[in-house]
Structure 1
Amino acid sequence: MSDSLRDKVVVITGASSGIGHSIALESAGRGATVVLIARRKDELDHLAAEAHELSGAPAYAFVTDMGESDAIDATFKNIIKVTNHIDYLVNCAGFGKFGNFVEMDRREITAMFQVNVLGLMYFTRLIGRVMMDQKAGQIINFGSIAGKIPTVKSAAYSASKAAVIQFSNVLRLELKPFGVKVMTVNPGPVYTNFFNIADKTGHYVENIQGYMLDPDDVSWQVVHYFGSNKRELNIPISLAVYAKLYNLFPSIGDKLSIKYASRK
């Protein structure tokens, strides 16, 4: 533990579990004041208590559905009441469901985009204005390797993450004159509750054990790059390399994806 984030404010969406939960504790362990956002009150309250114990700094919890614009507005107003600056925004909230696209329920597709893309964009717009006024800050958006490498049964989810990646690329250019940095984190599969929703059969998880990441390892890397000029963090290395090769040799990439990366 260190005091490298002492007096810094870190806002984290999707904080109640998975990578968001780990980033909250990693940030608190370095002395940060954390603002925790998710839908589950009990988990948020428990995390806030744990974070405060680690940091000795305030830890705030706001129950919010990131798919609801009114809820996002209300939470933003509450954040501004408890802090006069925001140093880091980490957008972790999101979910996915696997299935053949033509067979998917349109309501599930809409919900994915509402949370993964539109909610992220709307909240980032509000926090981004604060950072522009400060002339400082960093926004970290969670995309996914799925937004770079196509695999079957993930058309809607992959499209949502590709949207986050390109949104972040443009936002980076727009905010640079104001001293605000933007980084995209694109992880491969991670041991979280994500797959309890995305892959209820468990077959996909069984087939990709060799690529699965630990959320604590991901969170350490993300927090390590707080304040840096890094544009993208693509992990694990093997899938990051694959993503680059796919852009160079897409026809071969399609064949490899069908054979090795589409075992859902």
Structure 2
Amino acid sequence: MNRLRRKTVIITGASSGLGREMAKQAVAEGARVVLLARRIKRLDKLKEALEKDYPGSDVRTYRVDISRRADVENRFAEILADINEVDVLINNAGFGVFDEAHEAKWEDIETMFQVNVLGLISCTQMVLPYMKARKSGHIINIASQAGKMATPKSSVYAATKHAVLGYTNSLRMEAARDGIYVTAVNPGPIATDFLTIADRSGSYAKRVARWLLQPEKVAAAVIHAIGTDKREINLPKLMNAGSLIYALFPRTVERIGRKAFFKK
């Protein structure tokens, strides 16, 4: 229960969904958690609940909009001045909007890249110098199965997650020289508010309801991987198998699966 004792874990997008669940499980493992999100009231409410459930726990909350570089720089400067150490960064903040390419709104496209890609890179750059100086640390990037296999109506979202995987794979090789682990997490659809925003019609969520991952299960896999050299976490296994087959036989998968893919 104290596997992460004395470890400082920063989690972005911690106010709800997967981020919230990872925060709970990290505290249960004895970690000091630093929770980041735009919705500070939700963070403070979560902090209060965690401190009640785990007396003596160390929970810090900071409001940050990771789509804004200046905001990220200022907030991380404050965090590092307060605690002066970072063991784990979990880049969890992100969102998607499902539209066909010709219908995607430019403001949605910009925001997805700012949050999912640039925000993730920005937060990573804030902690890397500290981890490199200490010759240890772990960066965990929440990507998606969409980063391995794109489907209709998610062209922009898939593009951002392809970018996350490209960045993560390169970073992993660079960081290994300094004893820093880098893990990519590629979940399929999770039963969180993500789908409420991404799928405005609600039809996709209904169609995949039986396949939805529970955030508790994904969070457990992520928290368990902290401090290990796990390259990737891929869930669910069946969807990951589809991604692997797609990598080998893309034309065949696209032809056979086209009708099903368009049901999103």
Name the TM-score, length of structure 1 as normaliser. Answer: 0.97
Aligned twin of 1:166: 166
Aligned twin of 2:211: 211
SS of the residue corresponding to residue 101 of structure 1 reads: coil
Matched, 1:45 2:19: no
Question: Contact conserved, 1:140 with 1:184, CA < 8 A, in 2?
Answer: yes
Matched, 1:57 2:42: no
SS of the residue corresponding to residue 201 of structure 1 reads: coil
Aligned twin of 2:82: 82
Distance 1:207 1:5 in 2: 38
CA spacing shift, 1:182–1:201, aligned 2, 3 Å = same
Aligned twin of 1:228: 228
Distance 1:22 1:77 in 2: 26
Query: How many Å apart are 1:210 and its aligned residue?
Result: 2.8
Aligned twin of 2:26: 27
Query: How many Å apart are 1:259 and its aligned residue?
Result: 2.8
Distance 1:135 1:38 in 2: 28
Question: Contact conserved, 1:30 with 1:55, CA < 8 A, in 2?
Answer: no
Name stretches of at least 5 consecutive residues in structure 2 with no aligned partner: none
SS of the residue corresponding to residue 7 of structure 1 reads: coil
Distance 2:78 2:47 in 1: 16
CA spacing shift, 1:229–1:263, aligned 2, 3 Å = same
Aligned twin of 2:112: 112
Amino acid at match of 1:199: D
Distance 1:46 1:9 in 2: 20
Amino acid at match of 2:118: L
Q: Which one is further off, 132-141 or 48-57?
A: 48-57
Distance 2:207 2:256 in 1: 15
Query: How many Å apart are 1:219 and its aligned residue?
Result: 0.2
SS of the residue corresponding to residue 139 of structure 1 reads: strand
Name stretches of at least 5 consecutive residues in structure 1 with no aligned partner: none
Distance 1:241 1:55 in 2: 42
SS of the residue corresponding to residue 114 of structure 1 reads: helix
SS of the residue corresponding to residue 138 of structure 1 reads: strand
Query: How many Å apart are 1:261 and its aligned residue?
Result: 3.4
Distance 1:259 1:231 in 2: 33
Distance 1:121 1:192 in 2: 24
Distance 1:246 1:158 in 2: 15
Query: How many Å apart are 1:253 and its aligned residue?
Result: 1.3
SS of the residue corresponding to residue 102 of structure 1 reads: coil
Aligned twin of 1:182: 182
Distance 2:179 2:59 in 1: 26
Query: How many Å apart are 1:50 and its aligned residue?
Result: 2.3
Aligned twin of 2:102: 102
Query: How many Å apart are 1:241 and its aligned residue?
Result: 0.6
Distance 2:255 2:210 in 1: 20
Query: How many Å apart are 1:193 and its aligned residue?
Result: 0.5
1:8-33 per-position Cα deviation (integer Å, ceiling 9, x unaligned): 10000000001010000000011110
Aligned twin of 1:11: 10
Name the TM-score, length of structure 2 as normaliser. Answer: 0.97
Aligned twin of 1:133: 133
Amino acid at match of 2:241: V
Question: Contact conserved, 1:31 with 1:55, CA < 8 A, in 2?
Answer: no
Query: How many Å apart are 1:55 and its aligned residue?
Result: 5.9
Distance 2:50 2:77 in 1: 22
